[in-house]
Structure 1
Amino acid sequence: MHAPNPLLVEWRTPFTLPPFEAIEAGHYRQAFDVALREHEREIAAIADNPATPTFENVIDALELAGKTLNRVGGVFWNLSGTDSTEELRAIEREVSPMLARHYADISLNERLFSRVAALYQNRDDLPLSGEQARLLELTYKSFVRAGAQLSGADRERFAETAERLASLEMNFAQNVLADEANYIMELEKDDLSGLPNEAKAVAAQAAQAATDRHAAHPFALTLSRSSVEPFLSYGDRRDLREDLFNAWIARGEHDGATDNRRIISEILDLRRERAQMLGYKTFADYKLEPTMAGAPAAALDLLDKVWAPARARAGAEAAALQKVADAEGANFTIAAHDWRYYAEKLRLRKYDIDQSALSAYFQLEKMIEAAFYCAERLFGLRFVSRTDLPTYHPDVRAFEVLDRDGQHLAIFFGDYYARAGKRSGAWMSNFRNQRKLGGDIRPVIVNVMNFSKPLPGTATLLSLTEATTLFHEFGHALHGMLSNVVYPSMSGTATPTDFVELPSQLFEHWALRPEILQKFALHHETGAPIPQDMIDRIIAARHFNQGFATVEYCASAYVDFLLHSRADAPEDVVGAEKEILRGVDMPSEIVMRHRTPHFSHIFAGDGYAAGYYSYLWSEALDADAFAAFEEAGDIFDPATAGRLRDYVYAAGNQRDPNEAYRLFRGRKPEFGALLLKKGLTEA
């Protein structure tokens, strides 16, 4: 007799966490089949209900439907990102189009939509709370935007495109992961000249981990960012920096099985087709309608305002780097693979900041403590380590999160180390989101990073950028943990993309505040706090290299935005990328942060498609938002933190984000603080 599928039975674990140790890859396919059939029955019952449509028998019922499917998907999609195997990737290839077709069928269910539409048309006569009225509007519009008003052959074509897009986006993501996983640059000891000891240790570990690929050299580099960036910043071998950089920017652009170029062209074409079927001129018009920006012109205007001063600053920075290279006798013009190397030399010369020496004060453990401390001071949270809870990998840490009254609020998983099978980057996700409908359901939130795991007995040391990334993702986690809404579809981070980055980017401000650094930036060997003069130099250098950082980001945002603003899809997407960059006069010494063939934000799903500008929009918001604490004279001001919790972190999508921001700040956002924050204009 076979044991029951652990994904399909009641979980009798603490906090009803997934029983990770009992779940095997072979369980997923059956679980998805069962969950899909169950959800189909639930949807049919709502659509075919003979009773007069009410909020309860339509909207509440839709919100509660799909419990098993959400539970199975919550486990599968998280683990396929953190611990991918060929078996899981094969399931992805099967399940992705099935799920896309399933949700398309729901959106195109005429009987179901007629019941939603009946409620929406009579909404002014219904006794609805503000959150219910917002949910009804969002639900109705989501059906319309998913093709519910199409008829005849257009309805079937719309469903077909959804299914095809799911397959293409999944293939795109798997190709990037494959290119990252299959690359290795083997090195000898002399090849590591210039690297700090921590980076050398990482290279040694990479070589040991690659023994299954018959690595014959004592050191190796992979395409993990934690491997690439230190070598580009400190490696003295220019030829090796060039080889590594070229491999890094060419992910997804190789002839053969992992080539993403034709996949991108088809994705763009299908997105354009879907938008035009719904009456929009371009996909960008479709995508921006429900955002804070509201229309492409507003987003493009913000990019243009930042681009010119950033482009000018980057030119001045390039000239300064060239002087450093010339002074060392370099007989070449600075190229993209040289920028980080000479930037570190200039940073050291100008501000006496050696990033490798600085990282000695940024221990992973202390930065986690710092993030927890800020959450406690701002929102009254307490994080209790729970080694007794099930986790999906031995490196994952589990914490119970308590509110200021000591009551259970959430479970938080921290997955900090890079490993084989984990996609690159950093992100926040959830195994379960918060809701009150059907019971007080508490969230299970996860932060995923890709820091280099240290040798046993040694500390994990972070760069300034990595420390800030930890705070950024923890800001997203707080958005999920503090959520306090009734309806699951409005919970946590389920907001427009140009608002969802506000909680994360705002939380970054606390990472490098002197009050935090003095308390948590402690030397990993001596325990001594970071010297005040080093803090002063960090603050003085906060705008260093900002032209470069802003240009590489804005270039990616322009490419995303303008590709999705076309009336046709380019056959040569790399050629189109180059054309867009020529149009904005992209500096030759800088490469866009995410080149098109591996731009997972916009092609491994459409969450940020035509919306990569959102980070800049949210950065304008976060600069203005943190100013509220500065104006209060206390970075933990209780009244300001209370409004921030109520109207931003806890509010989910229960009100229009422009209104949510106004309630927090007392006025509309003022974007002038953005250029000042970046150092692209004078105070």
Structure 2
Amino acid sequence: MTDNPFFAPSPLPYGLPPFAEIRAEHYRPALEAGMAEQLTEIARIAAKPEPATFENTVVALERTGVLLRRVLAVFENHAATDTNPLVQELDAEFKLKLAAHRDAVHLDRALFARVDAVHAERAGLDLDAESLRLVERHHSRFVRAGAQLAEDDQRRLRELNAELAAATAEFGQNLHAANAAGALVLEHVEELAGCSEEAIAAAADNAWALGYEGKYVLSLLNFTEQPALAQLTNREVRRRLLAASADRALATNGPVAARMAALRAERAALFGHPSHAAYVVADETAGSVAAVTELLERLVPPAVANAEQELARLRAAAEADGVTDFGPHDLPFYAERVRLAEYDLDSAALRPYYELERVLRDGVFHAAGLVYGLTFTERTDLVGYHPDTRVFEVFEQDGRPLGLFLADFFARPSKRGGAWMSELVMQNGLFDQQPVVYNNLNLTKPAPGRPVLLSDDEVRTLFHEFGHALHGLFSAVRYPLLASTQVPRDFVEFPSQVNEMWANWPEVRANYARHHESGDPLPAELVDRLAEARQFGEGLRTVSYLAATLLDWAWHTLPAGELVEDAAAFEAEALERAGLALPAVPPRYRSAYFSHLFVHGYSAGYYAYIWSEVLDADTVEWFRGNGRPIRESGEVFRRELLCRGNTVPALAAFRAVVGREPDTAPLLARRGLTG
């Protein structure tokens, strides 16, 4: 296809893909050509007659797969943000083909022999630190992909990888269908009693968009607890909404989750590990199953104790209303009632002060300027991948261009749930590429002319995801394998969690938290009450998170040969065993819609959020107490950590910033777990 835009580098600034020219029919030939091209390049390297060197083997390996990376960045974005039947079909097909392709690369014995030879001689090659790191990471990737396995084991590994790729596609497509089918359709506006005018209007607009004109639709977000549960006064509607959320995809994805866990356990056994979790954490900062288990077990008892105390207050409020059968569908509603009664803080009252555009420009972007000296210019002349996508050019303080940031904030039926950051172009010096990164959220899109008003949680999510974006934008690395956010999974959330601190930094909040109509600042007394109330519910939130984390851990510490027959029963037993079987506090995710684990690469890794939060809470204390101006502290954090990618061990980067080993005390204090 001579008109296929993937077959030549993009002529647009920063290599932004030419989205106006890309059509779905371009993907298959570009993906096929990209895989074929890389295998040809690999064959040339493996067949070289001269001895293996760093340049002719390791750097040559880094130079392969340019076309494949270019098309995959766009295709994976399309599959996540605006899927359709053709894209879903291609996604299922190419998950299998790409799994086989990766095996073809990493199980090439001639290629590995050359990588292994360079690795064996690395100490005497006079390599700089980044090049030495590249050799070590490539060698580790080959070994962990099965390069040293016997022929029979490699044959079985290929089969397992193919089965897992097919199951991943199946899980994702089942979940997409279940999210659509599980949307709660309401006939009468009275059923939305308690919701704000904006929320009711959004439900009506959502109904119209989904073909339910004259009705109201609450679409499901990715996690168990749906935002409307905090406002809906009708208990039956709350019950139906939570049931739709918590039970979605159980019949279809429960068996898929069980099958994937069993396949992963068998694959880990091929590598000599007792479980998939052991295989995963061996390459993370945690290092061992015991280290993760020790942290989680330390957190569970105080978190449950806090949650039980908080639940007692909620049940008392419910009993005052005559509710004697308090259930999980009541928890968000009465948490909001108690927050209002005890702290005089109505979460809905905050929304008028959190208008999206102002939070973005005067909050998120302002903080990036305050801490790192960045400025942003919207590029309306550049086309994003969806009409809702906005493109911003990012500049250093001295005016030098840094990269592009794309923002895609609104939910749509064709978009997967949750919030995330990814990259269309990854920074690297080898190909002289600057970064093109993007953030996705799933905010409800209002009717034209209506403001987009955020909750306190949504503000925090906006800052969090932009922290990932900064990690990608600041990358200053030579080799693609080590660039940007390609750090251990239990470290990647750390920079984004640190960036959340600026949402509550007084100077930043004063700049963005203003009433969308009057422009008045968020009243000081409301700020004080918000700070006082922030600890309220921390026990419940921690238990909900830990329950999901320990479900992940239960699935992925299973030994090879053990197949779960009933996913729901397995979940119940796992939570009981972990001491987290609180019927009124459901896990943040149940297995059937836990896409972190079964689609997006966080299997045996959901603990990463709390593990990274140890570093995050400690770093926030460093920012507050190191005696430097904020701008100077920001430069240290950028220079020693954000720009390094995976060129240095993750915890070495942390120590270079803070000057010591991590301390768990700030995390325990933040989460109210010091008692």
TM category, shorter: over 0.9
Once residues 632 and 162 of structure 1 are traced to their aligned partners in structure 2, the CA distance between those partners, rounded to angstroms, is 48
Cα deviation, residue 288, structure 1 = 0.3
Q: Map 1:661-680; keep pairs closer than 5 Å.
A: 661-680=654-673
Cα deviation, residue 266, structure 1 = 1.6
Aligned position for 2:80: 81
Once residues 373 and 220 of structure 1 are traced to their aligned partners in structure 2, the CA distance between those partners, rounded to angstroms, is 35
Counterpart selection for 1:651 from 641, 644, 655:
644
Q: Do the aligned partners of residues 472 and 662 (structure 1) sit closer, same or farther apart at CA in structure 2, a change above 3 Å counting?
A: same
Once residues 459 and 639 of structure 1 are traced to their aligned partners in structure 2, the CA distance between those partners, rounded to angstroms, is 36
Once residues 664 and 100 of structure 1 are traced to their aligned partners in structure 2, the CA distance between those partners, rounded to angstroms, is 38
Aligned position for 1:303: 296
Aligned position for 1:290: 283
Aligned position for 1:95: 94
Residues 61-92 of structure 1: CA deviation (Å, up to 9, x unaligned) = 11111000000000000111000101100001
Once residues 301 and 541 of structure 1 are traced to their aligned partners in structure 2, the CA distance between those partners, rounded to angstroms, is 30
Residue 377 of structure 2 aligns to a residue whose secondary structure is strand
Aligned position for 2:372: 379
Q: Check whether the contact 1:361–1:529 (CA below 8 A) recurs between aligned residues.
A: yes
Q: Check whether the contact 1:318–1:334 (CA below 8 A) recurs between aligned residues.
A: no
Q: Do the aligned partners of residues 159 and 263 (structure 1) sit closer, same or farther apart at CA in structure 2, a change above 3 Å counting?
A: same
1:411 aligns with 2:404: yes
Tell me the amino acid that sits aligned with residue 572 of structure 2. Answer: K
Cα deviation, residue 225, structure 1 = 5.7
Q: Do the aligned partners of residues 579 and 270 (structure 1) sit closer, same or farther apart at CA in structure 2, a change above 3 Å counting?
A: same
Q: Map 1:226-245; keep pairs closer than 5 Å.
A: 229-245=226-242
Q: Check whether the contact 1:322–1:333 (CA below 8 A) recurs between aligned residues.
A: no
1:450 aligns with 2:442: yes
Greater shift after overlay, 227-236 or 47-56?
227-236
Residues 437-475 of structure 1: CA deviation (Å, up to 9, x unaligned) = 13x210110000000112211210000000000011000
Q: Map 1:60-459; keep pairs closer than 5 Å.
A: 60-187=59-186, 188-211=188-211, 215=212, 217-224=214-221, 229-254=226-251, 259-330=252-323, 332-369=324-361, 370-438=363-431, 440-459=432-451
Residues 364-391 of structure 1: CA deviation (Å, up to 9, x unaligned) = 1111121111111111111111100121
Greater shift after overlay, 7-16 or 86-95?
7-16
Q: Check whether the contact 2:208–2:214 (CA below 8 A) recurs between aligned residues.
A: no
Aligned position for 1:550: 542
1:561 aligns with 2:553: yes
Aligned position for 1:511: 503
Residue 384 of structure 1 aligns to a residue whose secondary structure is strand
Once residues 466 and 19 of structure 1 are traced to their aligned partners in structure 2, the CA distance between those partners, rounded to angstroms, is 31
Q: Check whether the contact 1:186–1:217 (CA below 8 A) recurs between aligned residues.
A: no
Residue 367 of structure 1 aligns to a residue whose secondary structure is helix
Once residues 591 and 337 of structure 2 are traced to their aligned partners in structure 1, the CA distance between those partners, rounded to angstroms, is 30
Tell me the amino acid that sits aligned with residue 160 of structure 2. Answer: T
Cα deviation, residue 182, structure 1 = 2.6
Cα deviation, residue 574, structure 1 = 2.2
Once residues 180 and 627 of structure 2 are traced to their aligned partners in structure 1, the CA distance between those partners, rounded to angstroms, is 48
Once residues 512 and 272 of structure 1 are traced to their aligned partners in structure 2, the CA distance between those partners, rounded to angstroms, is 42
Tell me the amino acid that sits aligned with residue 569 of structure 1. Answer: L
Residues 177-218 of structure 1: CA deviation (Å, up to 9, x unaligned) = 11112333222111111111111111111111121xxx2643
Once residues 277 and 219 of structure 2 are traced to their aligned partners in structure 1, the CA distance between those partners, rounded to angstroms, is 35
Greater shift after overlay, 640-649 or 551-560?
640-649
Tell me the amino acid that sits aligned with residue 295 of structure 1. Answer: S
What are structure 1's unaligned runs of at least 5 residues? none
Once residues 633 and 325 of structure 1 are traced to their aligned partners in structure 2, the CA distance between those partners, rounded to angstroms, is 47
Q: Check whether the contact 2:374–2:394 (CA below 8 A) recurs between aligned residues.
A: yes
Q: Check whether the contact 1:221–1:228 (CA below 8 A) recurs between aligned residues.
A: no
Counterpart selection for 1:467 from 435, 455, 459:
459
Counterpart selection for 2:593 from 584, 594, 598:
598
What are structure 2's unaligned runs of at least 5 residues? none
Once residues 569 and 444 of structure 1 are traced to their aligned partners in structure 2, the CA distance between those partners, rounded to angstroms, is 42
Once residues 144 and 612 of structure 2 are traced to their aligned partners in structure 1, the CA distance between those partners, rounded to angstroms, is 24
Q: Check whether the contact 2:409–2:442 (CA below 8 A) recurs between aligned residues.
A: yes
Once residues 119 and 308 of structure 1 are traced to their aligned partners in structure 2, the CA distance between those partners, rounded to angstroms, is 49
Residue 140 of structure 1 aligns to a residue whose secondary structure is helix
Tell me the amino acid that sits aligned with residue 394 of structure 1. Answer: P
Q: Check whether the contact 2:203–2:216 (CA below 8 A) recurs between aligned residues.
A: yes
Tell me the amino acid that sits aligned with residue 444 of structure 2. Answer: S
Residues 315-340 of structure 1: CA deviation (Å, up to 9, x unaligned) = 0111000111111222x232111100
Q: Check whether the contact 1:560–1:609 (CA below 8 A) recurs between aligned residues.
A: yes
Cα deviation, residue 3, structure 1 = 5.5
Calculate percent identity across the aligned residue pairs. Answer: 40
Once residues 452 and 166 of structure 1 are traced to their aligned partners in structure 2, the CA distance between those partners, rounded to angstroms, is 32
Greater shift after overlay, 554-563 or 6-15?
6-15
Q: Check whether the contact 1:228–1:244 (CA below 8 A) recurs between aligned residues.
A: no
Once residues 270 and 184 of structure 1 are traced to their aligned partners in structure 2, the CA distance between those partners, rounded to angstroms, is 32
Tell me the amino acid that sits aligned with residue 11 of structure 1. Answer: S
Once residues 9 and 311 of structure 2 are traced to their aligned partners in structure 1, the CA distance between those partners, rounded to angstroms, is 60
Q: Check whether the contact 1:221–1:227 (CA below 8 A) recurs between aligned residues.
A: no
Q: Check whether the contact 2:184–2:244 (CA below 8 A) recurs between aligned residues.
A: no
Aligned position for 2:484: 492
Once residues 257 and 407 of structure 2 are traced to their aligned partners in structure 1, the CA distance between those partners, rounded to angstroms, is 33
Q: Check whether the contact 1:282–1:565 (CA below 8 A) recurs between aligned residues.
A: yes
Cα deviation, residue 226, structure 1 = 10
Number of aligned positions between the proteins: 670
Cα deviation, residue 297, structure 1 = 0.8
Once residues 28 and 34 of structure 1 are traced to their aligned partners in structure 2, the CA distance between those partners, rounded to angstroms, is 10
Q: TM-score, normalised by structure 1?
A: 0.96
Residue 260 of structure 1 aligns to a residue whose secondary structure is helix
Residue 292 of structure 1 aligns to a residue whose secondary structure is coil
Once residues 644 and 248 of structure 2 are traced to their aligned partners in structure 1, the CA distance between those partners, rounded to angstroms, is 38
Tell me the amino acid that sits aligned with residue 255 of structure 2. Answer: R
Once residues 285 and 457 of structure 2 are traced to their aligned partners in structure 1, the CA distance between those partners, rounded to angstroms, is 28
Q: Check whether the contact 1:523–1:530 (CA below 8 A) recurs between aligned residues.
A: yes
Greater shift after overlay, 102-111 or 577-586?
577-586
Q: Map 1:6-25; keep pairs closer than 5 Å.
A: 6-25=5-24
Tell me the amino acid that sits aligned with residue 595 of structure 1. Answer: R
Once residues 373 and 517 of structure 1 are traced to their aligned partners in structure 2, the CA distance between those partners, rounded to angstroms, is 10
Once residues 609 and 286 of structure 1 are traced to their aligned partners in structure 2, the CA distance between those partners, rounded to angstroms, is 11
Q: TM-score, normalised by structure 2?
A: 0.97
Q: Do the aligned partners of residues 434 and 296 (structure 1) sit closer, same or farther apart at CA in structure 2, a change above 3 Å counting?
A: same
Residues 229-272 of structure 1: CA deviation (Å, up to 9, x unaligned) = 33211101111111110111122213xxxx01221122111111
Once residues 147 and 477 of structure 1 are traced to their aligned partners in structure 2, the CA distance between those partners, rounded to angstroms, is 32
Once residues 354 and 76 of structure 1 are traced to their aligned partners in structure 2, the CA distance between those partners, rounded to angstroms, is 42
1:589 aligns with 2:584: yes
Tell me the amino acid that sits aligned with residue 376 of structure 2. Answer: F
Residue 668 of structure 1 aligns to a residue whose secondary structure is coil
Tell me the amino acid that sits aligned with residue 32 of structure 1. Answer: L
Tell me the amino acid that sits aligned with residue 210 of structure 1. Answer: L
Once residues 92 and 226 of structure 2 are traced to their aligned partners in structure 1, the CA distance between those partners, rounded to angstroms, is 32
Cα deviation, residue 23, structure 1 = 1.1
RMSD over aligned CA atoms reads: 1.4
Q: Check whether the contact 1:427–1:448 (CA below 8 A) recurs between aligned residues.
A: yes
Tell me the amino acid that sits aligned with residue 431 of structure 1. Answer: L
Q: Do the aligned partners of residues 452 and 228 (structure 1) sit closer, same or farther apart at CA in structure 2, a change above 3 Å counting?
A: farther
Residues 16-48 of structure 1: CA deviation (Å, up to 9, x unaligned) = 211111111111111111111111101111111
Residue 583 of structure 1 aligns to a residue whose secondary structure is helix
Q: Check whether the contact 1:105–1:159 (CA below 8 A) recurs between aligned residues.
A: no
